[in-house]
Amino acid sequence: MPSSVVRTFTDPDAYFAGIRNLQIDGLVLRPGEFHAESTRIDLHRLFMHRFAESLPRILKVTPSGMRAGILFAIDPEQPTMQANGVETSQDQIFAKLGLDGDWYLRSSAPCEWGTISLTHEDLAAAGEAIVGRDLVRPKFAGIVAPPTTALSRLRKLHEAAGNLARTVPDILAKPEVARAIEQALVESMVFCLAGSASNDERNVQHHRTKVMRRLEEAVMANAERPLYMAELSAQVGASYWTLRDCCLEYLGMSPKRYLWLRRMHLARRALRSADAERTTVTEIASDYGFWEFGRFSVAYRSLFGESPSTTLRRAA
C-alpha cells in the first residue's frame, strides 16, 4: 500500500541510520547545530526520498543490492556534490545500476538531494517498454548527464510528490494517485538514463574503487583500536601516495585525517552511551587512541560544539 513519512533529525547518527535500504556510515565535517529532514515515499513499486541537511558531510553508502537507483540535487542552485570523487554538477545525476560496491557522497555545504529506485527487474522492464532497451548495466555506478528537459521534468515531479507527503499524505496514499505519480516518475527516470551521456573516463575507476573498498574493510576490522599509516598501507596493499590520492578524490581529505575523524566520532558515540558514574572522559579518549587529553578536548569542542565532559554528563 502506498505510504509516506516526513521526519526531522538533530542527531546525525539517527539520521544516517534512518535512511532505509542503505547502510550508511556518515561523518559530519564541520561543527555546528545539525538539522536534517527526510521525506520517504513508497509507491507501488517505486521508492523515493528527499533529504535536506544543514552541515557538510561524507556518506559511505553500502546499498542493499536489491534496487537500482539514481541520485540528484533537488536545488539546482546549490553547491555541487562529490560522488565517488567526481564532482556532480546541477545538470547531472548519479546512477547506481549495478548489484555491488560501496559509493561515497560528499557535500561541502548545506544541501538538498533526492533519490528514486526500482528493482532491477522493474527498471529493465520499464526500459524495454518505454525506449526499447534494457537500462540496467551490470556493476555500473557513475555520473550521467541526462537531457535538460528530462531532468527538469524529474525534479518537478519529485517536488510535487514531496509536497503531497508534507501537506496531504492521505491523498498520496490513494492507490490511483500513487499509480499516476509512479508512472510519471518511472517514465522520467527512464528518459534521464536513456538519453544520458556518461563520463566513463572519470567514473569507471576500477582500481581506485577497489582501494577504497579495501581501506574501509581495514578500518572496520580495526574499529576498536587506532590505525596508523604503515599498518593501513600494509592491510590495504597500497602505498601511502595511492591511499592519499584516493582519499583526497573520494573523501576530500587525507587518510590520516579520515582515520582521526572516524575515531573522534567513535569517541563521541561512546561518551553518549556511557555511564558517567562508572567511566571518565580520559578512559574513553584513551580507548580510541587519544593520549594528549588537552588537545583531544580542544579538538572535540571545535568539532562537536561542546566539551567531552558535557557530552558525558548529558548521557547520564
- Quick: pLDDT tens for 233-266: 888 888 877 888 888 888 888 888 888 888 888 8
Domain with CATH 1.10.10.60 in the chain: 206-315
- What length does the chain have? 316
Supply 62's cell numbers. Answer: 553500502
What CATH code would you report for 206-315? 1.10.10.60
- Proportion of the chain above pLDDT 90, given as a percent: 25
- Proportion of the chain above pLDDT 70, given as a percent: 90
CA distance 228 to 218: 11
β-strand partners of 230: none
Average pLDDT over residues 289-301: 86
pLDDT at residue 138, as a whole number: 55
Per-residue CA distances from 122 to 40, 66, 154, 190, 257 (Å): 20, 11, 18, 11, 41
**CA-wise closest residue to 94 among 193, 236, 4:** 193
Give the tens place of pLDDT for each residue, 23-68: 788 889 888 899 999 999 999 899 999 999 999 998 888 777 788 8
DSSP state of 132: S
CA distance 114 to 118: 14
Report yes or no: 10 and 272 within 8 Å, Cβ to Cβ. no
Poorest-confidence range of 109-123, 153-167, 191-205, 261-275?
191-205
pLDDT at residue 205, as a whole number: 57
**CA-wise closest residue to 242 among 283, 265, 208:** 208
Reply yes or no on whether the pLDDT at 159 is more than 80: yes
Spell out a b/e string for 269-278, using b for 16 or more CB atoms within 10 Å of the CB, else e: ebbeebeeee
CA distance 137 to 135: 6
What CATH code would you report for 3-203? 2.60.120.10
Average pLDDT over residues 272-295: 85
Poorest-confidence range of 2-16, 94-108, 152-166, 212-226?
94-108
β-strand partners of 62: 23
Q: How high does pLDDT run on average in the chain?
A: 84
Domain with CATH 2.60.120.10 in the chain: 3-203
pLDDT at residue 165, as a whole number: 93
pTM: 0.69
Report yes or no: 246 and 211 within 8 Å, Cβ to Cβ. yes
β-strand partners of 190: none
